Chains A and B, each alone.
Chain A
Amino acid sequence: MLQLDLTVIWDDFRLTADWTASAGERIAIIGPSGAGKSTLLMAIAGFVPVQGHVRWNGTELPADPGKRAVTTLFQDQNLFPHLTVAQNLALGLSPDLRRSDGVDEALERVGLSGLGTRKPAQLSGGQQGRAALARALLRARPILLLDEPFAALGPALKQEMLDLVDQVAGDALVLMVTHDPADARRIAGRTVMLADGVAHPPMPTAALLDSPPPALRAYLGA
């Protein structure tokens, strides 16, 4: 279980979150741009200093982002362009590329069989997203953070990728930032609304989106 009890302060920017989420859940984070959706994710990933606690099953997450029980898919730059796809995946096993067991299976599970020797630039946008997901599979961390990694893809392709996330994540907790309510409805059982410096506790997605509170309604334009 992920237990958040944190405040991020940056000059006059302030963001608080005080709630929990369980393993295996799919949770969307929605809210106006600039509200701090990415900041919340980066705080959990360990890139933004916080006051308070970020705990997994009662234990504080370590300061080093690489040692956290977390895999992050960033908005872009998820693959190293100078390494092959297989090498990019193997970084999920060991940072010094000494292991490569399971890389082929991971590629197969995301539908990239036989593309391991290519460089990322030789893949399409969707394939690059699949490769990043395959590495998440190899890392096998209990929390998967998605900072809109598929925002540049078309609607159909994005839905396909979200389904793949759902399938690949398995028992892991997924937290995904999105600005599109359709993404939340697609895979997220609960949704966090982020507005006015507060990341509100997750609510059932359908109920929240069908009768949104005023702050969310202004954003959705509904």
Chain B
Amino acid sequence: MASRIVALIIAGLVFGPLALVALRAEGWGVDWPALRFTVTQAALSALLSAALAIPVARALARRRFRGRGALIALLGAPFLLPVIVAVLGLLAIFGRAGLLNRTLGTELSIYGLHGVVLAHVFFNMPLAVRLILQGWQGIPAERFRLAQSLGFSARDISRHLERPMLREVLPGALTVIFVICLASFAVALTLGGGPAATTVELAIYQALRFEFDLGRAASLSALQFAICAAAVLLASRVALPSGLGAGLDRQVAFGPAGWRRIADAAVMLAASLFVTLPLLMVAQRGLPGLASLPMAVWSAAGRSLAVALASTALTVAAALALALARRRWAELAATLPLAASSLVLGTGLFLAIHPFAAPERLALPVTMLVNATLALPFAYRILAPATARIEADYGRLADSLAMRGAARLRWLVLPRLAQPLGFAAGVSAALSMGDLGVIALFAGQGGATLPLMVQQLMGAYRMEQAGAAALLLVVLSFGLFWTFDAWGRRAAT
């Protein structure tokens, strides 16, 4: 019953704004430059991320060394990193006055298509590594032993074992990254812009925020929805991998010696530098200013925390209700938000609120609601397999003891689900904490969240304060994730 209501609310939250957008759209003309750029950058980002990820995944799959687990965990970090923080870190390295230009004495610019793609690769290459690594570990160890007993060379192994696996895994990984990058807003906002580098999401923001052209914003939102829906349909035809959780420790001993050993080490070193260096730069640049942050930044942090905690509660409750329903329609409802984007939902809600109240007065509740909706697919994917396992292992025993409803939830489901619940809550909280999407549409004077505050400080070229605020943001995001995750682990023992 509860899960049906949740499913209906989610359908309403996704389709309601869409209906408003469709009603208000002024003409169905397509903004071709924005569409072209959106698809181009997403395709390039997906291809580059996957191409760079393959050697890293292979090195991780065939080598065993101290710190390997930590490196794999590190590759999960960009997924939770606030986009604006990563952008600041990348600017510190690749920007006009960044590390690279100063070392080489060049004046390369990071703004434009290549900057957008670079940021997307920073986020998605690690994700691709984790997805492809699962493919490698899905090859049975016996197969490798057989290959060794037949005297296969590294090239033979690649031809008979690895390439067939990649042909199966890559379409899914490429699709996931392509879909993620289609709805890119914060990266395009900070590193793109101008007629040559504007995504549809960014165009929606500009139409609403600068031109206050509601009709054009609605048309663009309809276009963005069409793109996302097409991408989700495409994704449903490809076998999608799930990069969250999963044991990554099975033994496959097939690391060839010689130069390949050095190459693997170099690849892994480069990948870890690529992921950690921007973060270290943020820490180094932000630390001095942390003590003298203005009050406005602290109150923005407070607003962000409140939004993150409230949206986490909503997301986890909804994901749990849907996961417990264990029905096809529940899974469908949990997947629905993937077809919506932050700015499309935001535009729809803006249209709904605008006639009745000043949108900036509802900025925080709307942000909370949109964040909760958009995090739902991830939380659901974490909880659903775990609830299915609980039913398989203990469902009959609980049935035979007449444990139903609240008793079953309290004495069976919640205790056994504590660990995935903590993980799901941590992911939702970090995603919401770092989100820079719908809040940019709604926030008025003095109502910014922390990510928006960082972006505004950057825009005002107050880089030291921006750096310090970014450091605070990343500490809070990872702190939230760590707190929830550790709570889940502790409760599970």
Contact surface of A with B, Cβ cutoff 8 Å? 45-47, 64-67, 70-72, 74, 77-78, 80, 82-83, 87, 91-92, 95-97, 139
CB of A96 within 8 A of CB of B397, answer no
Of the candidates B397, B404, B411, the one whose C-beta lies within 8 Å of that of A77 is B397
Shortest A206–chain B CB gap in Å is: 32
Of the candidates B397, B404, B407, the one whose C-beta lies within 8 Å of that of A97 is B407
Can you pick out 7 interface pairs between chain A and chain B where the beta carbons lie within 8 Å of each other? A64-B399, A71-B400, A72-B396, A77-B393, A80-B397, A91-B401, A95-B404
Residues of A within 8 A of B397 (CB): 74, 77-78, 80
Residues of A within 8 A of B408 (CB): 95
The 9 tightest CB contacts between A and B, nearest first, are A66-B402, A96-B407, A95-B403, A82-B415, A95-B407, A65-B399, A95-B402, A72-B400, A91-B401
Residue ID in chain B nearest A139 by CB atoms: B401
CB of B394 within 8 A of CB of A95, answer no
CB of A47 within 8 A of CB of B396, answer yes
**Does B410 sit within 8 A of A, measured CB to CB?**
yes
Residue ID in chain A nearest B402 by CB atoms: A66
Residues of B within 8 A of A95 (CB): 401-404, 407-408, 411
CB of A66 within 8 A of CB of B401, answer yes
- In the complex the two chains form, what is the Cα distance from A131 to B396 in whole Å? 18
**Does B114 sit within 8 A of A, measured CB to CB?**
no
**Does B97 sit within 8 A of A, measured CB to CB?**
no
Residues of A within 8 A of B399 (CB): 46-47, 64-66
Residues of A within 8 A of B401 (CB): 66, 91-92, 95, 139
- In the complex the two chains form, what is the Cα distance from A96 to B408 in whole Å? 8
- In the complex the two chains form, what is the Cα distance from A87 to B411 in whole Å? 9
**Does B291 sit within 8 A of A, measured CB to CB?**
no
Secondary structure of the A side of the interface?
loop
CB of A77 within 8 A of CB of B406, answer no
Residues of B within 8 A of A80 (CB): 394, 397, 411-412, 416
CB of B400 within 8 A of CB of A97, answer no
- In the complex the two chains form, what is the Cα distance from A65 to B396 in whole Å? 9
- In the complex the two chains form, what is the Cα distance from A94 to B165 in whole Å? 52
Task: Indicate with 1 or 0, residue by residue over B206-228, a CB within 8 angstroms of chain A CB atoms.
Answer: 00000000000000000000000
Q: How many A-B residue pairs have CB under 8 A?
A: 56
Residue ID in chain A nearest B414 by CB atoms: A82
Residue ID in chain A nearest B397 by CB atoms: A77
Shortest B256–chain A CB gap in Å is: 42
Residue ID in chain B nearest A98 by CB atoms: B407
CB of B400 within 8 A of CB of A65, answer yes
- In the complex the two chains form, what is the Cα distance from A83 to B401 in whole Å? 14
CB of A66 within 8 A of CB of B403, answer yes
CB of A45 within 8 A of CB of B411, answer no
Residues of B within 8 A of A82 (CB): 415-416
Shortest A208–chain B CB gap in Å is: 30
Shortest A4–chain B CB gap in Å is: 19
Since A66-B401, A87-B411, A97-B411 are in contact, a sample of 6 more A-B pairs with Cβ atoms closer than 8 Å, ordered by chain A residue number, is: A47-B399, A65-B399, A78-B397, A80-B397, A83-B411, A96-B410
Residues of A within 8 A of B412 (CB): 80
Shortest B115–chain A CB gap in Å is: 50
Residues of B within 8 A of A97 (CB): 407, 411
CB of A74 within 8 A of CB of B403, answer no
Residue ID in chain B nearest A78 by CB atoms: B397
Residues of A within 8 A of B416 (CB): 80, 82
Residues of B within 8 A of A70 (CB): 400
Residues of B within 8 A of A74 (CB): 396-397
Residues of B within 8 A of A78 (CB): 397
- In the complex the two chains form, what is the Cα distance from A83 to B413 in whole Å? 12
Question: Which of B401, B402, B412, B416 lies at the interface centre, i.e. has the most chain A CB atoms within 10 A of its CB?
Answer: B401
- In the complex the two chains form, what is the Cα distance from A87 to B412 in whole Å? 12
- In the complex the two chains form, what is the Cα distance from A95 to B399 in whole Å? 10
Residue ID in chain A nearest B408 by CB atoms: A95
Residues of B within 8 A of A87 (CB): 411
Shortest A103–chain B CB gap in Å is: 14
- In the complex the two chains form, what is the Cα distance from A115 to B377 in whole Å? 43
- In the complex the two chains form, what is the Cα distance from A20 to B381 in whole Å? 48
CB of B400 within 8 A of CB of A45, answer yes
- In the complex the two chains form, what is the Cα distance from A145 to B1 in whole Å? 33
- In the complex the two chains form, what is the Cα distance from A87 to B415 in whole Å? 13
Question: Which of A47, A65, A74, A87 lies at the interface centre, i.e. has the most chain B CB atoms within 10 A of its CB?
Answer: A65
Question: Which of B393, B396, B408, B410 lies at the interface centre, i.e. has the most chain A CB atoms within 10 A of its CB?
Answer: B396
Of the candidates A66, A83, A96, the one whose C-beta lies within 8 Å of that of B400 is A66
Question: Which of B397, B408, B410 lies at the interface centre, i.e. has the most chain A CB atoms within 10 A of its CB?
Answer: B397
- Known contacts A67-B402, A82-B416; is A96 also within 8 Å of B411 by CB? yes
CB of B406 within 8 A of CB of A96, answer yes
Residues of A within 8 A of B393 (CB): 77
- In the complex the two chains form, what is the Cα distance from A67 to B403 in whole Å? 10
Residues of A within 8 A of B406 (CB): 96
Shortest A143–chain B CB gap in Å is: 12
Residues of A within 8 A of B394 (CB): 77, 80
Residues of B within 8 A of A96 (CB): 406-407, 410-411
Question: Which of A47, A77, A78, A91 lies at the interface centre, i.e. has the most chain B CB atoms within 10 A of its CB?
Answer: A91
Mark out the residues of chain B between 441 and 475 whose CB falls within 8 Å of any chain A CB in the assembled complex: none
- In the complex the two chains form, what is the Cα distance from A80 to B417 in whole Å? 13
Question: Which of A45, A72, A82 lies at the interface centre, i.e. has the most chain B CB atoms within 10 A of its CB?
Answer: A82
Residue ID in chain B nearest A145 by CB atoms: B400
Of the candidates A64, A77, A83, the one whose C-beta lies within 8 Å of that of B402 is A64
Residues of B within 8 A of A83 (CB): 411, 415
Residues of A within 8 A of B396 (CB): 47, 65, 72, 74, 77
Residues of B within 8 A of A65 (CB): 396, 399-400, 402
Residues of B within 8 A of A72 (CB): 396, 400
- In the complex the two chains form, what is the Cα distance from A74 to B396 in whole Å? 9
